[in-house]
Amino acid sequence: MNKLAVIALGGNALLRGNQVGTIEEQEDNTTKTLENLIFLLKEDYNLVITHGNGPQVGNILMRNDAGEELYGIAQMPVDICVADSQGGIGYMIERMFLNILNKFNIKKNVVTLVTQVVVDKNDPAFKDPQKRIGRIYSKEQAESLHKNKGWIFKEEVKEHGGYRRVVPSPKPVIIRNAKIIEKLARDGNIVIAAGGGGVPVCMDEDFNISPVEAVIDKDLASALLAINIHADEFYILTDVSYVYINYKKPNQEIKEFLNYKDTLKYLEQGMFTKGSMAPKIKACLQFIEHGGEKSVITEATKLEDKTFGTKITMEYED
């Protein structure tokens, strides 16, 4: 049986930090990233691709604001905005990948699934929303929106100040349609799913689905998807070539090979930055803990060069 790999495209794989975010920039970045996956296809891997959506869904939310302020267009809730970003980004990845497959004369279908991800309505994150979304508002605007819409805001600590809306970031519990995703992938189709962490929903005791105003961590959702579809390997493509300990300190050290026990120790010691590397490490450990063979964290355009990237396994590889 061909190996099955889940490839999580981080924000850097689609949009670089110094870019405006035009479609031309995103298409160029996506193409360069996806060309690195060709070697996996040549080694007979089946692929499922996930992706981030931070800048894109932020722009959707700001268009929401502008439409309401300028033209009285009703705003859409966060779950609809996440679904919009899944469809748009998925379409872009799908189209770019089809062109790359054509370039290398590889015959495969590429399909995008707008994916719902179930969270627990009793998750503690709902009592302590921390995830910043959308634009920066003045104090007066934030107070008005809190009064009229019930939105929660936190003060920005960056240079220009102001206030941004915050929403919960609950843990993913169930990836909807995981069996369908696995079957499509094992049948040789390239599947794009669970974009942006998935569309956040809750399920009641009668199995009815309802939306929630939340954002799910994309790395944790990608790891859960990899577990649910029984993937062999899990890759996170980001903006660094390796995982470091003592990052940006005189004793900084590259870790190309890590086992589960040591990685967990470094995480507990606070070696990984909370808002960036720590969630990725947690996702990789979760995958390994549930039977995954290998997790890899590497720079978006260097996956094909196997001398790059940090490989995490239950035990050290020989």
In a structure prediction context, what are the per-residue pLDDT tens digits for the chain, which is 318 residues long? 899 999 999 866 788 777 888 999 999 999 999 999 999 999 999 999 999 998 889 889 999 999 999 999 999 999 999 999 999 999 999 999 999 999 999 999 999 999 999 999 999 999 999 999 988 899 999 999 999 999 999 998 776 789 999 999 999 999 999 999 999 999 999 999 999 999 999 999 999 999 999 999 999 999 999 999 999 999 999 888 999 999 889 999 999 999 999 999 999 999 998 878 999 999 999 999 999 999 999 998 888 887 789 999 998 654
**Does residue 270 share a domain with residue 139?**
no
Domain membership of residue 141 as a residue range? 129-167
Residue type (1 letter), 25: E
**Does residue 135 share a domain with residue 115?**
no
Catalytic residue IDs = 11-12, 131, 218, 280
> Which tokens is 15 given?
């949009």
**Does residue 181 share a domain with residue 61?**
yes
**Does residue 227 share a domain with residue 145?**
no
**Residue 17 confidence (pLDDT):** 73
**Does residue 266 share a domain with residue 175?**
yes
**Residue 266 confidence (pLDDT):** 97
252 within some domain: yes
**Does residue 184 share a domain with residue 163?**
no
**Residue 76 confidence (pLDDT):** 95
**Does residue 75 share a domain with residue 211?**
yes
**Does residue 215 share a domain with residue 66?**
yes
The CA distance from 121 to 111, in Å, is 30
**Residue 81 confidence (pLDDT):** 96
**Does residue 250 share a domain with residue 148?**
no
**Does residue 175 share a domain with residue 141?**
no
- Tokens 């507990």 map to which residue? 268
110 within some domain: yes
Query: Partners of 117 in the beta sheet?
Result: 175, 200
The CA distance from 190 to 50, in Å, is 11
**Does residue 86 share a domain with residue 13?**
yes
The CA distance from 315 to 293, in Å, is 10
Domain count, the chain: 2
**Residue 19 confidence (pLDDT):** 85
318 within some domain: no
269 within some domain: yes
**Does residue 163 share a domain with residue 46?**
no
- CATH number of the domain enclosing 46: 3.40.1160.10
Which spans in the chain are helix H?
11-14, 23-35, 38-42, 54-71, 78-103, 139-149, 178-186, 218-228, 260-268, 277-289
158 within some domain: yes
